[in-house]
Amino acid sequence: MRIDEKTVAELRKLGVDVRQGISLADETSLGIGGTTHELLLERYETIPDVMRLLDARKIPHRFLGGGTNVLIADGELPWVVLHLPKAKPGMRVEGNTAYVDASADLGGMVTFCAKHDLGGMEGLIGVPGSVGGALRMNAGAYGTQIGPLVREVELYRASKGEIETLRGADIHFDYRHTSFAPDDVMLRVTLELASKPYREILAGIRVCNEKRRASQPLNQKSAGCIFKNPPGGSAGRMIDELQLKGHRVGDAMVSDRHANFFVNTGHASCSDMMKLIDDVRERVHGAFGVELENEVIFWQN
């Protein structure tokens, strides 16, 4: 994706750091992805102007958080990637309420709140990525999801070109699904949390970390679970029953530790990973009659 010099200059005036020819393989936990321009935003206040400029110049764009739940196509990509301002993301608490910028690290937010004796998010501790990505995905683990804790979300509503604040009660959070519009950009969240002593929260965090370490290939490149669990079932269990752990296409492999984690063991391409995903989906469908839905988000070219 090319951006003409005039637009680059205007973006720079808005404080955007424009980086050319960036490999997104270096920015995703799967280590897969083609190349494009990357726009690093400096201030939240300029986001509407930046977005309007990109829309006016018809430059397709996507927001990348921590890159831990995306599978990105190979080759030169026909859209640019945007990053929220990352330097010192704002986090503060007042009573039982936490105010957090969407670029903050999710785990960092959990521990920050824990230090203020605010808990209920222990299950989220090992979910990598940003607060914005967690809101978009309604991230969850070990019985906790971020959605029910949300009091308000401040977002840039691309369809109106404006910043809006939505009440948590007006947002539909479902299993790895939310009612945000596809082009909404999460900017900040307000969470309502339960009072809990730090030591108790820490004990809960340790239990969750231990469970993760015992079951997940944390030292390999992955995007967490590839498929959503079907209602009442477990995608990992079905894949495991088909003895597909270790099954591979090129360097893309079904983890031998957790059957719903697909890992990049070396230089897997997006096409290798897609083939593996489709192959496993077909086998599960053939054996169990269940059509697995992707949890990982595919960004095609």
Ligand X SMILES: Cc1cc2nc3c(=O)[nH]c(=O)nc-3n(C[C@H](O)[C@H](O)[C@H](O)COP(=O)(O)OP(=O)(O)OC[C@H]3O[C@@H](n4cnc5c(N)ncnc54)[C@H](O)[C@@H]3O)c2cc1C
* Interface contacts to ligand X, rule CB under 6 A: 29, 62-70, 84, 102, 127-130, 132-134, 136-137, 139-141, 185-186, 216, 218, 222-224, 297
> Token pair of 15, please?
């404080």
CB closer to ligand X, 158 vs 284: 158
**Smallest separation, CB 165 to ligand X (Å):** 14
Radius of gyration (Cα) for the chain, nearest Å? 20
CB closer to ligand X, 96 vs 294: 294
Segment holding 254, helix H or strand E? strand 252-254
CB closer to ligand X, 134 vs 149: 134
Q: Kindly list the strands in the beta sheet with 252-254, ordered across the sheet, starting from the edge strand earlier in the chain.
A: 248-249, 252-254, 262-264
* Cα dihedral 201, 206, 207, 208 sign: positive
Q: Are 281 and 292 in contact (CB under 8 A)?
A: yes
CB closer to ligand X, 31 vs 119: 31
Distances in whole angstroms, Cα of residue 144 to Cα of each of 21, 35, 176, 254? 38, 35, 12, 26
Residue carrying structure tokens 């709140």: 113
CB closer to ligand X, 224 vs 236: 224
| DSSP single-letter state for residue 292 | P
**Smallest separation, CB 108 to ligand X (Å):** 12
CB closer to ligand X, 130 vs 190: 130
CB closer to ligand X, 282 vs 293: 293
CA 53 to chain centre: 25
**Smallest separation, CB 117 to ligand X (Å):** 24
**DSSP letters of 52-102?**
HHHHHTT--EEE-SSSSSEEE-SSB-SSEEEE---SS--EEEETTEEEEET
CB closer to ligand X, 132 vs 204: 132
Q: Are 24 and 223 in contact (CB under 8 A)?
A: no
Residue of 223, 228, 254 whose CA lies nearest to 241: 254
What values do phi and psi take at 20, rounded to 5? -100, 150
